[in-house]
Amino acid sequence: MRTALVVGLGAAGTFASICLAKKGWKVLAVGKGTSSCAMSTGCLNGSGMDPECLRELSRLFQASGMPLVGGVDEKRTGITNLGTRYDCTLSAPGSTWVQGNGPQSVTVLGMGKHPSLRPNLVASVLRSWGMDARPQIVPMDIPGESSLTAAFRDQGRLDRLINSIKEAWGETVLLPPLFSLKDYGRLNELERLGGRRLKEAITPLGTPGERFHQVLEDGAREAGVEIWYGRRVTALRTEGDLITSADVQGGLETRTVDLDAVLLATGGPLTDGLLLRQTGLDDPFGLFLVKESGEGPHDLMRSGYAHRGGRLLSRSGTPMANAFAAGDCLAFSLRSPGKGLGDATSSAWDAVHTMEVP
């Protein structure tokens, strides 16, 4: 059995690990810190995605109990926690609607003084783009630093929320994200008991991204991926154009891992990936060529590892035989805001297929 080392536990690394394990590889995935995926909106712009990649992703979410709705060519719209419009093609079912089929009247429901959703601000912004919106606050005391997913495990708070939903004006109620992946089905229960159509505000740096990441993490475990949390690869050893082994450090312990291929999905410089120097980005392993964008060394959005035919290039510019990469650590000629998760999973899918070619 071939052994793959995947470096990075974000969307690209975890999805690639799942795909490799399903193709018969023994996969060790290593990473530390919070990934960009876990801080995302949890929504995808799937335009241009391989249909098979999308189907595999959809299977993972269906199995998790939080299926994705939409499709590659279906345009969907939601409302952010600031009241602005958010367009995507795939999302959790409680986050968006098909474009042209949105609500005409909305109650923006805040949870006491919790800052997750500010009803007056959001309702004002919604009215500015033509939606009939009114603010309402659920009378409850939740500390601003508290997690809503933890707070709403309390049945008393849920009962007060249900009463507020029943009293709400209009056809649709906009809520902050309240439920973890495990409890996501409770959103449907709230909708049934409250008698209103419910939508979650699309919220970065919070629960939606955490749920997306949890789906991938659960899928990796189910596929048999061995995950080492809180560890980092400190060195890669080579013989010619082959990576033969890696040193993996966790705390005071360092282990050497023999491997048949390595896939880097370490993200950009802000997620413990590429090194950020005064002159631009650099490879922390001292092995691979880093390509700056045409806009100069400080255009970090498009800079990253140079690659050819899916393989990383050595510093001399020749392709490595068994070193690959996916996600934000790769150099891209164009990165579009809002396409991070779609680009990450697509590049992971492409990298896995390249790894399968001798």
pLDDT in tens, 193-222: 999 999 999 999 899 999 999 999 999 999
The helix or strand, by DSSP H or E, that contains position 221, with its residue range, turns out to be helix 207-223
Distance (Å, whole) CA 351 – CA 25: 14
Q: State the sign of the Cα–Cα–Cα–Cα dihedral 272, 273, 277, 283.
A: positive
What lies within 8 Å, CB to CB, of 107 at 6+ separation is 133, 134, 135, 136, 168, 169, 170, 172, 173, 174, 196
Using the CB atoms, write b or e for 209-219: b if 16+ within 10 Å.
Answer: bbbbbbbbbbb
User: Which pLDDT score, from 0 to 100, does residue 250 have?
Assistant: 87
C-alpha closest to that of 209 among 7, 19, 14, 34: 34
Residue 110 pairs with which residues in a beta bridge? 137
Coil, strand or helix at 315: coil
Task: Over range 315-326, report the average pLDDT.
Answer: 93
How high is the mean pLDDT of the chain? 89
25 neighbors 226 (Cβ within 8 angstroms): no
Distance (Å, whole) CA 324 – CA 312: 5
User: Which pLDDT score, from 0 to 100, does residue 301 have?
Assistant: 58
Distance (Å, whole) CA 168 – CA 137: 10
Enter the tokens of residue 215: 């789906």
Q: Evaluate if residue 39 carries a pLDDT over 60.
A: yes
User: Which pLDDT score, from 0 to 100, does residue 135 have?
Assistant: 96
Identify the architecture of domain 73-203 in CATH.
3-Layer(aba) Sandwich (3.40)
The helix or strand, by DSSP H or E, that contains position 54, with its residue range, turns out to be helix 51-64
Distance (Å, whole) CA 217 – CA 38: 11
Every domain of the chain with CATH number 3.40.50 lies at 73-203
314 neighbors 326 (Cβ within 8 angstroms): no
Q: Which amino acid type is present at position 80?
A: T
More confident site: 295 or 221? 221
Task: Over range 239-247, report the average pLDDT.
Answer: 95
pLDDT-derived band at 297 (thresholds 50, 70, 90) equals very low
- Mean pLDDT is lowest, of 115-129, 217-231, 281-295, 311-325, for 281-295
- With tokens 């269906």, the residue in question is 62
| Superfamily (CATH H level) for 3-40+211-355 | FAD/NAD(P)-binding domain (3.50.50.60)
Distance (Å, whole) CA 24 – CA 171: 49
Every domain of the chain with CATH number 3.50.50.60 lies at 3-40+211-355
Residues shown for the chain:
358
